[in-house]
Amino acid sequence: MDRKEEIKKRIQEARKRQMFTVDEYVGGIVKGDRMILAKAITLIESYKEEHQTIAKEIIDKCLQIKSQSLRIGITGTPGVGKSTFIESLGMHVLRKGKKIAVLAIDPTSQMSHGSILGDKTRMEELSHQENAFIRPSAAGTSLGGVARKTREVMILCEAAGYDTIFIETVGVGQSEVAVHSMTDFFLLLLLPGGGDELQGIKRGIVEMADAIVVNKSDINPVLAKQSKKAYRNAVHLFPQKESKWVVKTLMCSALQNEGIDAVWQTILNYQDLTIQNDYFHQKRQQQSDYWFKQALQQGLEQLIKNHPQISQEMKLLKQQIFQGKMSPFAAADKIISLLK
Ligand code: GDP
């Protein structure tokens, strides 16, 4: 029996048992088995310790599988047309022979199941395509936790052969920073409506964008064109990007599939430029470093929280800080000395 057949047989047996070993999960993921991929993602999203242990092993093994992926972040306020745009661009990319995964970081997902990005009817056409995998945002108590899980899910999707990853978020704050920290290209969707629109969006978010795309250009093409110009003038005032990429402003109608190819071409041009000048690779390294530090920080916080003696000391020190008896810095030093 060759290796492929062996994996297939083991998966069939495991299906009956409703349980998989790490190797079976990884084998199934690599084979492109969507059911196993979805099950493995459920483990990542679970907060049970035994699930987390298996999930970590799966992620580590999936990281060994080399994949050439392109990670695209998309943001914009609710109603700007993100899901319509991802559906339109996604279908376009599928026709080019790609396999796509659509993930989301939704800061509201911890509050309710009816979160901003959670609507089941979104991306109807895309969700029926064999080469598209759509997963709503993980739920969690902190944005950091949700973002980390999304990054891990992305690693699994890449091991499963999804070479184009879309990560969507909603323009309501810190979640853009999280998406930017795990994607190669960052796209801001806006509505037509004069350059003033940019004033309402945090400057930091606009500065992160590699492309600004004015959607719904079918409603008022003249206004859309004016907005595109105004946005272009505004972004030209920003300093040059480390990537040496000049931010592009485009317009499209996601609903009517107009201007979508130009958006895709722009993304490919960015990829070409940054692979050539090595920024693509450098940025991924910077991102890994960022996630390493994030994970370390989260782990240390957890360690302190779960340590009875240290957490007790923390409470006492906090009181002393509040009473003005100790500076926050001296208190932090005291905790650190307990860890040594
Ligand atoms: P999201 O909240 O950003 O994901 O926005 P949706 O994709 O759900 O779109 C919100 C509404 O705008 C829906 O009714 C869409 O049909 C509509 N819409 C999206 N893109 C376009 C477009 O290019 N032109 C027009 N006329 N409507 C659009």
Tell me the C-alpha distance between 169 and 180, whole Å.
10
Own/partner pairs, 278-281, CB within 8 angstroms, 24+ separation: 279/242, 279/243, 279/244, 279/245, 280/184
CA 138 to chain centre: 11
Write the residue with the smallest CA distance to atom 25 of ligand 1: 216
Written as one letter, the residue type at 43 is L
Whether residue 101 has its Cβ less than 6 Å from ligand 1: no
Q: Render pLDDT for 210-269 as a digit per residue (tens, 0 to 9).
A: 999 999 999 999 999 998 998 888 888 888 899 999 999 999 999 999 999 999 999 999
Burial class (CB within 10 angstroms; exposed 0-12, middle 13-18, buried 19+) of 176 = buried
Residue 231: closest CA among 259, 201, 263 = 201
Q: What is the pLDDT of residues 277-290, one digit of tens each?
A: 999 999 999 999 99
Residue type, 337: S
CA-nearest of 164, 139, 335 to 264 is 164
Give me the percent of the chain exceeding a pLDDT of 90. Answer: 57
Give tens-digit pLDDT for 28-80: 999 999 999 999 999 998 888 888 899 999 999 999 988 889 999 999 888 89
Q: What is the pLDDT of residue 261?
A: 97
Tell whether ligand 1 has an atom less than 6 A from the beta carbon of residue 253. yes
Pocket test of ligand 1: the residue of 217, 255, 257, 263 to mutate, having most ligand atoms within 8 Å of its CB, is 255
Hey, whose CA ends up nearest to atom 15 of ligand 1? 81
Higher pLDDT, 292 or 203: 292
Does residue 79 line the site of ligand 1, with CB under 6 A? Answer: yes
Residue with token string 């907005």: 227
User: Could you tell me the domains of the chain?
Assistant: 3-63 (1.20.5), 70-280 (3.40.50.300), 285-339 (1.10.287)
pLDDT band at 114 (very low <50, low <70, confident <90, very high): very low
CA–centroid distance, residue 132 to ligand 1 (Å): 20
User: 214 CA to middle of ligand 1, Å?
Assistant: 12
Structure tokens at 303: 């360690």
- Would you say residue 194 has pLDDT above 60? no
